[in-house]
Amino acid sequence: MEHEKQGFVSKYIFSFDHKMIGKQYFTLAMSMGFIGGILAVLIRLQLGFPSQPFPFLENLFPVGMASGIMTPEFYVSLFTMHGTIMVFFLLSLLPVSGFGNFLIPLQIGARDMAFPFLNMLSFWTVVPGAIIIIISFFVEGGAAASGWTAYPPLSAIRSAIPGSDLGQTLWLVGMIFFVASFTMGGLNFVVTILNLRTKGLRMMRMPLTTWAQFIVGILGLLSFPALAAGALLLTFDRSLGTSFFLPAGIFIGDTLMPHEGGTPLLWQHLFWFLGHPEVYIIMLPAMGFTSDILATFCRRPIFGYKSMVYAIWAIGTLSFLVWGHHMFVSGMSPFLGSLFVVTTLAIAIPSAVKAFNWLFTIARAKIQFTSASLFGLGVVSLFVTGGLTGIFLGTNATDIQLHDTYFVVGHFHFIMAGAGLFGAFGAVYYWYPKMFGRMLSERLGKIHFWITFVAYYAVFFPMHYLGVSGMMRRIYDPNVYEYLQPLQPVNLFITISAFVLFTGQLIFIYNYFASMRRGAPATSNPWNATGLEWSTPPHPGHGNWEGEIPPAHRWPYDYSEPGKKRDFTPQWEA
Amino acid sequence: MSQTAIAQADWGGGASPFGVTWQKMMMWFFIVTDALLFAGLLVSYGVVRIATGDWPTQSEVFSLTYIATMTFVLITSSATMACGVKAAELGRPQTAAKFVWLTILGGFIFLGMQAYEWTVFIGDGGGITGNPWGSPTFSQFFFIITGFHGFHVLTGVIVLLVVAIRAAMGRYSPAGVENAGLYWHFVDLVWVFVFALFYLV
């Protein structure tokens, strides 16, 4: 295969190479994640030290932190944008768009994605979205402030609160860019996996990471249109005075709004029809990474490969039938609520299948404790913790008590955010040699893991107690309620742990960038792993394989076969 | 696009599961996701209409004969498109181009009729914030659903123009005509749903 010499622009900016596009997504997602992390630190600053002045922050946010004290309006913007940035621009972009683009062609034995131009376009569509989201902090009225779920009427009436004005409009514009980009990416994923597999790579021989990305592509294609339809209607409500989501009788201050005929519940249905599959869009790749990483470092075939694949299918299918469990207290029919309880608890079955399969893979194995495998084990731990608390929230009888408390915040930071993030970290440690041809520092990686793991539990586990004690989610200052005042030491503890958690990530960022130049050079298969991606040269060029694409002779989990000299047999060996 | 060609030429891979090219498969998946976008709008319309109550009788607002004519024009254009795809498949570019031009004509007639329908509707008092017939959401959904569909028809016409012009320049591929045809049929099919659910039910 011939490639004309590429200039800087065509190599690093408007590149068609799926690996470069994947790395571009990494850079974007990590920058957005860093910003999202700063927002989290600011949120914790307010909750740990309510309404105390921090004069140095006034320089950065002259309105929101006037004389160093955070205003309630700014606090509301902070958690809204923290959620939006983390869910969409870190946890969707890094594992799905980033690792999906980077890994799918390598793992299925393809030269590139099916449509490289569309791939490049999808990256350059999400960049303006990210920029618009960041800019919205610095416009009149500040960033959007209706939560990451953007419930109307707060998000639909421009005069409701300061953040409902220009900030919310920019939020919607940013999200439309994101949806367009993600749709293009999803199309590419699904078609590439179906049509461009190498010889012999039957669907049931694909690594679980690719299986997860395949289902994620389908989930994205089926769920994001609902958000797009909702965003279209919401834009009309905001800009043209329609009332799709607005019933009669809404007062802003003393002014009666002219709207009538709509229903805010409609937005919740449309949003959560996207919102719940979105949770699995974040989770499934992390599950795939974990399966691949654990098999490699336990030197064992993944336990129950077929059941893992079926579980991914089952989770993907069920994820479209459970959105109502976010709406138990919305005034929806209680009968409908009971149905959603059944479907929600049904999702525990395939989830438990995955958790048990991981445990059986680990059980009595001689685990090699590398940074990647530690993060893989971390995913299992967080997934079980978050899964158990999910049962309380998926059952309407208990959810009505716990709804919109810190219990929910604790829960989803474990199962979705935490497991997704740990999966992505594990994947970076595992595939970094293929990305940059060098190894990450294992010593820094292990320090990073232990700080992150301990601090993560220290931050989010106590939140369950706060929630059961009645501290509501999204509250600006819990101390206004007498019964929440005794919880202040817990909040202070969480805040300090959150600072530690954030600082720990700086180690990772240093390791990631420093190892690009100074890491030990990697061999083409440093972990003695079996997937097709390890048959490429250490730093593959555009086209991935220099000669012929190797065919797949077997599944990718042939570790420790009895009677063989080596403890692994790569997929490309007959 | 040289890079696009590489993926196919050097593939030599396993069997394509549905025996179709990835371009065609991608068009199908795109149609699925676009169909769900319309589904989102039509379901929203259904929910609001049931919740609202004072929904006007459509036949008193619209001339259903006129709408039926629009539907007829659009479905006819689907038929000419099918002829175009078949001719392209048989390797008759001239005939194919002729049918594509006829389809474009059908698309323009539909868009013109829709523009006139909007003019009449607005002239009768239908506005984006209210209307004289009942719930304000009636005219709002009218504008957003027919407008969004009209936008799709316009996109389809532009795609077909590209196909026709490329055919005239000799840069012509039967697969390209077929994929454009798939999109055009989809746009027509969506109109059938809009016609049935918004104008008739």
pLDDT digits (tens, 9 = 90+) for A423-481: 999 999 999 999 999 999 999 999 999 999 999 999 999 999 999 999 999 999 999 99
Look at A328 and A547; give whichever has higher pLDDT.
A328
Contact B135 A261 (CB under 8 A): yes
Contact B137 A236 (CB under 8 A): no
Tokens 């004969």 belong to residue: B65
Contact B33 A240 (CB under 8 A): no
Rounded to whole angstroms, the Cα distance separating A518 from A393 reads: 47
Interface with chain B: mutation pick from A18, A104, A193, A195, highest number of B CBs within 10 Å = A195
Crossing angle, helix A305-318 and helix A264-298, to 10 degrees?
170
Residue A368 has pLDDT above 70, yes or no: yes
The single-letter code of the amino acid at A265 is: L
Rounded to whole angstroms, the Cα distance separating A165 from A170 reads: 9
Whether chain A has a CB inside 8 Å of the CB on B25: the answer is yes
pLDDT digits 0-9 by tens, A83-93: 999 999 999 99
Contact B26 A192 (CB under 8 A): no
Average pLDDT rounded to a whole number, residues A54-73 = 88
CA of B98 to nearest chain A CA: how many angstroms apart? 30
Percent of chain A scoring above 70 in pLDDT = 99
Q: pLDDT band at B9, cuts 50/70/90? A: very low
pLDDT digits 0-9 by tens, A481-529: 999 999 999 999 999 999 999 999 999 999 999 999 999 999 999 999 9
- The reported pLDDT for the residue numbered A65 is 86
At A403 the three-state DSSP class reads coil
Contact B6 A232 (CB under 8 A): no
Look at A146 and B3; give whichever has higher pLDDT.
A146
- The reported pLDDT for the residue numbered B101 is 95
Interface with chain A: mutation pick from B20, B137, B143, highest number of A CBs within 10 Å = B137
Of B25, B38, B52, the CB nearest to A261: B52
Tell me the torsion sign for CA atoms A12, A3, A124, A316. Answer: negative
Rounded to whole angstroms, the Cα distance separating B161 from B184 reads: 12
Contact B29 A229 (CB under 8 A): no
Rounded to whole angstroms, the Cα distance separating A520 from A534 reads: 17
Contact A110 B11 (CB under 8 A): yes
User: Which range has the worst mean pLDDT, A317-331, B7-21, B139-153?
Assistant: B7-21
Contact A241 B14 (CB under 8 A): no
Contact A225 B36 (CB under 8 A): yes
Interface with chain A: mutation pick from B133, B135, B140, B146, highest number of A CBs within 10 Å = B140
pLDDT digits 0-9 by tens, B55-114: 999 989 999 999 999 999 999 999 999 999 999 999 888 899 999 999 999 999 999 999
Residue A311 has pLDDT above 80, yes or no: yes
CB B82 within 8 A of CB B149: no
* A vs B: CB pairs below 8 A: 151
At A331 the three-state DSSP class reads coil
Per the DSSP assignment, residues forming a β-bridge with B80 are none
Of A1, A191, A258, the CB nearest to B10: A1
- The reported pLDDT for the residue numbered B16 is 59
Q: pLDDT band at A4, cuts 50/70/90? A: low
Whether chain A has a CB inside 8 Å of the CB on B41: the answer is yes
The yes/no answer to whether this complex scores an ipTM above 0.85 is yes
Rounded to whole angstroms, the Cα distance separating A206 from A309 reads: 10
Give me the phi and psi of B170, to 5 degrees please. 85, -5
Contact B13 A261 (CB under 8 A): no
CA of B131 to nearest chain A CA: how many angstroms apart? 12
Of A16, A201, A240, the CB nearest to B3: A16
Average pLDDT rounded to a whole number, residues A386-392 = 93
Contact B40 A186 (CB under 8 A): no
- The reported pLDDT for the residue numbered A260 is 87
Contact B129 A201 (CB under 8 A): no
Residue B11 has pLDDT above 60, yes or no: no
- The reported pLDDT for the residue numbered B3 is 38
Q: Which chain B residues in 114-173 lie under 8 Å from chain A, judged by CB atoms?
A: 128-129, 135-137, 140-141, 144, 148
Contact B22 A198 (CB under 8 A): no
Which pairing describes strands A255-256 and A251-252: parallel, antiparallel, or unpaired?
A: antiparallel
Domains within chain B, CATH numbers bracketed = 63-201 (1.20.120.80)
Residue B135 has pLDDT above 80, yes or no: yes
Q: pLDDT band at A421, cuts 50/70/90? A: very high
Average pLDDT rounded to a whole number, residues A24-44 = 96
Considering only CB atoms, which chain A residues are within 8 Å of B141?
244
Interface with chain A: mutation pick from B27, B29, B183, highest number of A CBs within 10 Å = B29
CA of A4 to nearest chain B CA: how many angstroms apart? 10
Look at A59 and A24; give whichever has higher pLDDT.
A24
Residue A222 has pLDDT above 60, yes or no: yes
Residue A11 has pLDDT above 80, yes or no: no
Of A194, A229, A243, the CB nearest to B137: A243
Contact B47 A269 (CB under 8 A): yes
Rounded to whole angstroms, the Cα distance separating A220 from A229 reads: 14
User: Which range has the worst mean pLDDT, A57-61, A491-495, A565-569?
Assistant: A57-61
Interface with chain B: mutation pick from A181, A183, A191, A210, highest number of B CBs within 10 Å = A191
Domains within chain A, CATH numbers bracketed = 21-247+259-535 (1.20.210.10)
Residue A212 has pLDDT above 50, yes or no: yes
Contact A233 B41 (CB under 8 A): yes
Considering only CB atoms, which chain B residues are within 8 Å of A263?
47-48, 51
Of A191, A203, A233, the CB nearest to B29: A191
- The reported pLDDT for the residue numbered B10 is 39
For residue A452, the tally of other CB atoms under 10 A from its CB is 23
A194: enclosing H helix or E strand: helix A166-195
Contact A114 B26 (CB under 8 A): yes
Look at A292 and A252; give whichever has higher pLDDT.
A292
Cα A119 from chain centroid (whole Å): 20
Rounded to whole angstroms, the Cα distance separating A410 from A402 reads: 11
> A286 Cβ partners below 8 Å, 6+ apart?
A95, A379, A419, A420, A422, A423, A424
Tell me the torsion sign for CA atoms A350, A354, A355, A361. Answer: positive
CA of B65 to nearest chain A CA: how many angstroms apart? 29
Considering only CB atoms, which chain A residues are within 8 Å of B22?
114-115, 191-192, 194-196
Whether chain A has a CB inside 8 Å of the CB on B24: the answer is no
Considering only CB atoms, which chain B residues are within 8 Å of A244?
44, 48, 137, 140-141
Contact B11 A115 (CB under 8 A): no
| Chain B residue nearest residue A273, CA to CA | B40
pTM greater than the 0.95 cutoff: no
**Nearest Cα to Cα of residue A22 among A221, A208, A213:** A213
> B27 Cβ partners below 8 Å, 6+ apart?
B179, B182, B183
Rounded to whole angstroms, the Cα distance separating A558 from A569 reads: 6
Of A16, A196, A222, the CB nearest to B11: A196
Contact B137 A116 (CB under 8 A): no
CB A240 within 8 A of CB A188: no
Percent of chain B scoring above 70 in pLDDT = 91
Considering only CB atoms, which chain B residues are within 8 Å of A113?
7
User: Which range has the worst mean pLDDT, A32-36, A187-191, A537-541?
Assistant: A537-541
> A374 Cβ partners below 8 Å, 6+ apart?
A426, A445, A446, A449, A453
Of A199, A224, A233, the CB nearest to B44: A233
Query: Is the bond into A225 cis (omega within 30 degrees of 0)?
Result: no
- The reported pLDDT for the residue numbered A15 is 87
Residue B18 has pLDDT above 70, yes or no: no
Provide DSSP, A368-381. ---HHHHHHHHHHH
Considering only CB atoms, which chain B residues are within 8 Å of A230?
40, 44
Rounded to whole angstroms, the Cα distance separating A414 from A402 reads: 16
- The reported pLDDT for the residue numbered B134 is 86
Residue A299 has pLDDT above 50, yes or no: yes
Q: How many CA atoms lie within 13 A of B3 on its CB side?
A: 22
